[in-house]
Structure 1
């Protein structure tokens, strides 16, 4: 009988599993991990070496069913089995679990079993992202066309108001009516500024160059700390292995600044109470992601920039519309900052999305890497 030797990731056909978006692991019946694909590594937030040195059963809240199923498949009691389970991720609290659908299948060797894990929320998230991209694209076209239609008559209205003010000036009613003409001019200027902001991302072609995401983060961090010198803590959590990529540095700074300013504004009350037991905190976290789907296109590598805050969260009634123009969660907000950030992300073939609950809001900017 040929002696069985564990197959390592670098010497077999297991590398093909790296092209899959779902998590795949090859294990022994006792749970020892022989191989974990890139998606598994990404979700677990661990290096492949660390995963392959571990026991798969240790990553589950209740591994008894998984253990029984893997052993049953290994001894050919059945060829495959499916069930739901809760996966524990590295660096997470025990209570914070990831629901997954588990598929256990046979392999050619009885000493190897294939375990595939599918995030229950993954398909829902992809569907939501596709809907969001379609909605944002349609809204962007509508907004741009509407802005052009509004912009054209504004100049005429402002010019007419100025001429009217000049005609009225020599008359007895001139001083009394001057206030009204000034109101017209002021409101036209305000609308002109709003239209300019709506059209800003479409007016200039991106100025492409090599961009380091951490230089972008540091610039934004410096700007926000100037605006909020006390009461706000901005934490760096960088993956310094991320490579440079091609992009418009100034546009990306503006996109990230809009997101961070939005987070800081959500923390206004906590910033004002600088003595609070839980200080206002924004975390800038960068990570690499593998086999990422953005819209309908697949990328082998992407960077993820997370802007996390410990504020009250996005109001539930606008959570699905947060990136639409003129939708704001605070009084006096223009509702354009996040819309512009989403547009800039899409111009870089990326995506901006948000997960929010009371006490934690996470804006995630995903950009493809070469």
Structure 2
């Protein structure tokens, strides 16, 4: 049975962490020495049967008190029958936002970006005159009210016709519409805030967003399989291809220009790199403690934007600067989900890093409002093993 997107978002973050539940990576986040998922375990069984009608392949990496375990299933390339590599690259989608938040908070720690200063101060020509003041913190926590240009980018027909279109930085922002709500009063998840964050990073550094991701995170941590691709449409290095099932067969959707998603959802990475990233982030190696708290602080007194003024159906905000909070009884998990055509992924952990999960599923049907069943199975299996 499929789960509604709202539950999915929670699950992706929740399960991710739960699945990941585990001990810190060997050597405090060093290169992984993981064992294979044992036959008959919930996670191994969750990967069985691939490819199927929903997905062509999948990979999972979990770490908990029992150590690091990993596994893959399915096919990486239908032409050759090659299997999915555990260290394969994949398009991480909105997990990119966590990387962008890290750079923005590093700049805040350096005194170069004031979280309480306005976007209008740094980018005076971005928003129309008379727009209510929007702060940097509101951008990072999705509470700005700024609108995104609406395109059906997750519909197969549109994607296949426009997959190589290039969007100029900032052209994704719809400045013709008034703010969806007064800044700071609601929380609406989407890419637009993190497109603005990318522009802010470029403004205060005088360098490209891609170069800042490379220097401040990728090079610093030695993430060998992670790239901010810019105009490169390829996924370089070992990887599982992404496919879309059509009436005439599977269409390879791996290659694409990701400028529409840019600083919100364009990065390519691997499961070992993402685990290393989470360990470094949560342990304070990337962002100083005062700014790191922003990543574990949900805006107080704010509800998710639902387009109406009826308080009866309001839901509390769950997003922070770059992460999502999920509470499961006494356990609180922090993480991020993400998807692109051919890829549905998640990363999550407990704040003490005792449990961590990274997964990627090569979906065959882009878009939709529900979490892929295979992703749900992986998450639930991870929870069972904790």
TM over 0.5: no
TM-score category (smaller protein): under 0.3
- Structure 1 or 2, whichever has the larger Rg, is 1
The structure, 1 or 2, with the larger RCO (C-alpha pairs under 8 Å, 6+ apart) is 2
Structure 1 length-normalised TM: 0.24
Q: Identify the structure with the greater strand proportion.
A: 1
